[in-house]
Amino acid sequence: MRILVVEDNRTLAAGLLAVLRGDGFAVDVVHDGPSALAALTAEAFDLVVLDLSLPKMDGLDVLREVRAAGVQTGVLILTARGALDERVRGLDLGADDYMTKPFEIAELEARVRVLLRRQSGRRGTSISFERLSLDTASRSVSVDGQMLDFPARELGLLETLLRRQGKVVSKQAILESLASFEDDLSENAIEQYISRLRRRLAPHGIIIRTARGLGYYLDRATE
């Protein structure tokens, strides 16, 4: 899942980037209102963490314009403005939740999970293949109910393949799903992640096949 963090405090933005990437999300960061508006109207995100006091364009104005444009991405407002009328205004404009600075990281992570579950809506948060199941909101993977530990990038790769199971997934599609604006992922790096994920899945009877020149897909291991 892909999250956009809109925060002009670069220290805080870097901290949020590290935390959310550590939770297995692909995360992009911008630092002003126009950049946020451009990103949200050009790219697909599952959630945006939106500060209100932004340079060049207020966060509430960003929210108003993206909702007017029909963008339904979940929005968690994160701001030092604590006045009740500001909170009400943000919610009325289409925000899904509101946190006031300073805040606890654990609570932020919990609210992100709740909003992502809500965004998943009809499709649910669980994706399964054979004995394996991925909860996209909690970022947890299990096989036959036993929890497994996956590094963030391999978890993101697994989610990409699971969401497109039954189809060949190109390297370009994988790059787009894993990379943020500032990443410099290469096709060689994708091959390394594929190799590592193969080793993790093999003991559970799941393999990643290569469609030469096209991409990759999940399959069941044969006896």
For the domain that residue 72 is a member of, what is the CATH number?
Answer: 3.40.50.2300
What's the confidence (pLDDT) of residue 189? Answer: 85
Rounded to an integer, the average pLDDT of 43-53 is 90
Question: Is the same domain home to 56 and 131?
Answer: no
Question: Is the same domain home to 153 and 216?
Answer: yes
Q: Tell me the pLDDT of the chain averaged across its residues.
A: 87
Question: Is the same domain home to 33 and 75?
Answer: yes
| 93-140 pLDDT, tens digit each | 889 999 988 899 999 999 998 888 777 654 556 888 989 999 877 778
Beta bridge partners of 169: 216
**How many structural domains are present in the chain?**
2
Question: Is the same domain home to 53 and 158?
Answer: no
Question: Is the same domain home to 135 and 216?
Answer: yes
% residues pLDDT > 90 (the chain): 44
Question: Is the same domain home to 143 and 99?
Answer: no
Rounded to an integer, the average pLDDT of 191-205 is 92
How deeply is 204 buried, as exposed, middle or buried, from its count of CB atoms within 10 A (0-12, 13-18, 19+)?
A: middle
Q: Of 67, 97, 121, which residue is a domain's last? A: 121
Question: Is the same domain home to 110 and 185?
Answer: no
Question: Is the same domain home to 138 and 86?
Answer: no
Cα–Cα distance list, 207 to 59, 129, 147, 202 (Å): 45, 11, 19, 6
Question: Is the same domain home to 90 and 108?
Answer: yes
Q: Which of 163, 127, 161, 123 is nearest to 142 (CA)?
A: 127
Q: Which domain holds residue 9?
A: 2-121
Question: Is the same domain home to 96 and 72?
Answer: yes
Q: Of 121, 140, 164, which residue is a domain's last? A: 121
How many Å apart are CA 108 and CA 49, to the nearest integer? 10
CATH of the domain at 159: 1.10.10.10
Q: Of 60, 87, 121, which residue is a domain's last? A: 121
Question: Is the same domain home to 169 and 87?
Answer: no
Q: What is the DSSP letter of 208?
A: E
What's the confidence (pLDDT) of residue 102? Answer: 87
- 97 phi and psi angles, rounded to 5 deg: -160, 170
Question: Is the same domain home to 21 and 73?
Answer: yes
Q: Is the pTM of this model over 0.85?
A: no
Instruction: Please report which confidence band the pLDDT of residue 87 belongs to, taking 50, 70 and 90 as the band edges.
Output: confident
